[in-house]
Amino acid sequence: MNPVMAKLHGAFGRKKNGLLFQSALAFTVRAFGAGSGFLLNLIIARTLPPQQAGYYFLAFTVVQVLAMMGLIGLQTSLLRFIGSSKSEQNWNEASAAHKTGTLWAFLSATSLGVLLYFTSPWLAEHILEKPDATTALQAMAPSVTLFALLTLNAHALQAIGDVVKSVSTINILVQLLLAAALLSGLATTAQTTAAFYSLACLITMFISLFWWLRKPGIHWCGVGQFPATTLWQSCLPLWWVALMGLGVQWAGQLVSGAYVPPEELAILAVAQRTAMLTSFVLMAVNLVVAPKFAALYKQGKSEQLERIALKATKLIVLFALPIVGFMLIFPEWLMWLFGEQYKSGTNLLRILALGQFVNVMTGSVGYLLSMSGHEKDLRNVAFISGPMAIILALVLTPLYGVTGAAVATAIALASQNLLAVGMVKRRLGFNTLAVWRRTG
């Protein structure tokens, strides 16, 4: 290769490895994933009667909560350990971490899935006060294990920099498979939709595991277990973070399940899932920066860590502003897309979009703490925001219905991220909200 071509090749390689290029790739893929999720919610709202949609979304929320519980914080721990192993080309350690994490998650999530299946009648009648939701809960029970495992695989793929396969695993394949079942007329009730969701999770889980094991250097045969003490000390605080995070994200919907009709619950669920499109920019950038945070902190490169974190926050805010603005200005049109009956959720969308915007403007604070070994600080933040979300939902929902649930979710989400900003400042010495600072 001549010197000119070598120089061009090197420049292109640097761009490919740069934050802007990788973030643009992640943004593009994540945008497709967000679009797939939005399309699926639109199809559900347009295909199922509002009552059946409400039962499906309620079952989906319960399964998401149990799957995250079953993961016991392993997804973020593996992201940290596999990301740092990749920077050292230690593929045996990466393989061992994934193998051990998969075993732990399988045993934990399966226990919860079995428990959900057999307690669904009691849960639906006495806790959620919606006996007709029983069949949807039982049909979706297997996906507690399946969603937990595909989430674990997605984080492992993210840790080694395979953005496309990671996003496809957690944000695209399941949605497209379930959308196909709905559009073909195979799924017509909450129960059949829940059953096809479980099937979609099964197919996606096997595809993602195949992608992981096909990576050069990755293998399970002959690999020992990852040190249990090291893994447990990392994932236990993150488990509490995940549990409290579930409270922040889903407390409003779960509490609403006991106080409002399923039709109103469907409107709240659609508004919340639409508002969460705001955070897809944050998720896209996190796909790139989270493994970098782990590697840079392990290498002691604190200045470079700060520079990348602030650059990431600038990118997130820049791309999220137009999305939030659109939701605040045209919420009625967005909700109308799901059907005339969903237009009453206009103010719900505004409230939830504001909460999500605080989430994105604070940057990747959660990953900054977890990837730098400060899991306990993130846990302490969660111990405040999680109970806050539950208490606010229990107080506001009986008084103001789904509007109270939306306000509770938005306040808890904003508080969680602002507290995490303070922890990052305390532990790492910089403020992610200071996006005006020059980062080089």
pLDDT of 7 reads: 40
Is the pLDDT confidence value at 12 over 50?
no
The lowest-confidence range among 2-16, 178-192, 386-400, 418-432 is 2-16
User: To the nearest whole number, what is the mean pLDDT of the chain?
Assistant: 86
Sequence-separated contacts (24+) of 344-348 with Cβ below 8 Å: 344/267, 345/267, 345/268, 345/270, 345/271, 345/402, 347/403, 347/406, 348/267, 348/268, 348/271, 348/272, 348/402, 348/403, 348/406
Residue 407 inside a domain? The answer is yes
Residue 334 inside a domain? The answer is yes
**What value does the mean pLDDT take over residues 406-432?**
92
What percent of the chain clears pLDDT 90, i.e. is strictly above it? 43
Residue 439 inside a domain? The answer is no
Residue 183 inside a domain? The answer is yes
- The total number of structural domains in the chain stands at 1
Q: Which two tokens stand for residue 7?
A: 């120089």
Q: How confident is the model at residue 3 (pLDDT cuts 50, 70, 90)?
A: very low
Residue 9 inside a domain? The answer is no
Domain with 64 in it:
18-428
Residue 236 inside a domain? The answer is yes
pLDDT of 71 reads: 93
At residue 137, what is the residue type? L
Sequence-separated contacts (24+) of 203-209 with Cβ below 8 Å: 203/173, 203/177, 204/146, 204/150, 204/169, 204/173, 204/174, 204/177, 205/146, 205/149, 205/150, 205/153, 207/169, 207/173, 208/150, 208/153, 208/154, 208/157, 208/165, 208/168, 208/169, 209/149, 209/153
At residue 194, what is the residue type? A
Tell me the whole-structure pTM to 2 decimals. 0.75
Is the pLDDT confidence value at 268 over 90?
yes
Cα–Cα distance between 297 and 54 in angstroms, integer? 44
Q: How confident is the model at residue 435 (pLDDT cuts 50, 70, 90)?
A: low
Is the pLDDT confidence value at 184 over 50?
yes
The lowest-confidence range among 171-180, 330-339, 426-435 is 426-435
Residue 343 inside a domain? The answer is yes
Of 274, 250, 278, 265, residue with least CA distance to 63: 250
Q: How confident is the model at residue 1 (pLDDT cuts 50, 70, 90)?
A: very low
Residue 277 inside a domain? The answer is yes
